[in-house]
Chain A
Amino acid sequence: MLNYIRFLIRITHAHRIFRRYFVVNGFDGALTTLGLIVGFYSAENVAVSVMISACMGAAIALAVSGFSSAYVSEAAEREKELKDLEQSLIKNLDDSAHATAARLVPILVAVVNGMAPLSMSLIIISPLFLVQAGVELPYRPLECATALAFLTLFLLGAFLGKISGRFWLWSSLRTLAIALITAVIILSLEY
């Protein structure tokens, strides 16, 4: 079964799409959560439960948005590709692996696109969950969450560097710089 799914992914070149969507929406999720965390940091004295609710709300919205948008666009794209192939072969491909892939791949892409921001957000706000569960952290939960956000974005940059074949550190420093600029802009705003 796994080999068959791998085969379906290969005939649709979906592994590249998975990777792209994972990075793009994962980056979205991590940066959005960083923005919220830094916002709470500047607001001061926000209750942990409020922070968790706000972050979870944003993460779930990003996940649903990622899932639905990827599914709709990928399903349309796959359908078009299948029709083009059917025209070239002058044959109905309903019983082929290509038709199965055209139905299955949009769902898999949608899951990746939806899970990427959700998982990034959950990683970043994990210190807030720990504090709420009564676990004592060496630093304030917001500081831990901010550090995790920077680390997540740094690792995403390293992943991008690995894909492109460039030196991973440059790519990591670039995503880290984006995160820092975002945090500085948020902190510099006075409401």
Chain B
Amino acid sequence: MPLLTRIALDVLKPHIPNALEFANAISENSPGCKITVTVIEVDEKTETTMVTIEGDNIDYDKIVNSVTTLGGSIHSIDEVTVSNFIQEAE
């Protein structure tokens, strides 16, 4: 079964919550994942950010839900890594 192990999202979000709170809030809903939020551009009321999530099996729907709850808007999926290793029978 293919497992989502890394995804990078282009997210437009309000200034508050800031990048740290934003990353923490996403992390709380996605245990076991590493979250990186990079602020790309700052406008009057919004920030364009690159949110990168890495983990063994990322639940994309949970990520979308967290981002939406925090007032963010996913503009695009910029990078995806999916793993589908075949387990060898012993």
Give bound CA distance, A96 to B44, whole Å: 20
How many angstroms from the CA of A84 to the CA of B14 in the assembled complex? 11
Complex Cα spacing A137 to B21, Å: 53
Asked if residues B68 and A84 are in contact (CB atoms below 8 Å), the reply is no
B70 neighbours in A (Cβ, 8 Å): 96-97
Task: Considering the complex, give the chain B residue whose CB is closest to the CB of A99.
Answer: B71
| Count of residues in A whose CB is under 8 Å from the partner chain | 14
Is the pair B17, A11 in contact by a Cβ cutoff of 8 Å? yes
A-B contact count (CB 8 A): 39
In the docked arrangement, what's the CA distance between A96 and B21, Å?
15
Q: CB of A89 within 8 A of chain B?
A: yes
Nearest CB of A to B80, in Å: 23
Closest 7 CB pairs of A and B: A88-B45, A96-B71, A91-B73, A11-B16, A98-B71, A88-B46, A89-B73
Residues of B with Cβ closer than 8 Å to A?
12-14, 16-17, 21, 43-46, 68-71, 73
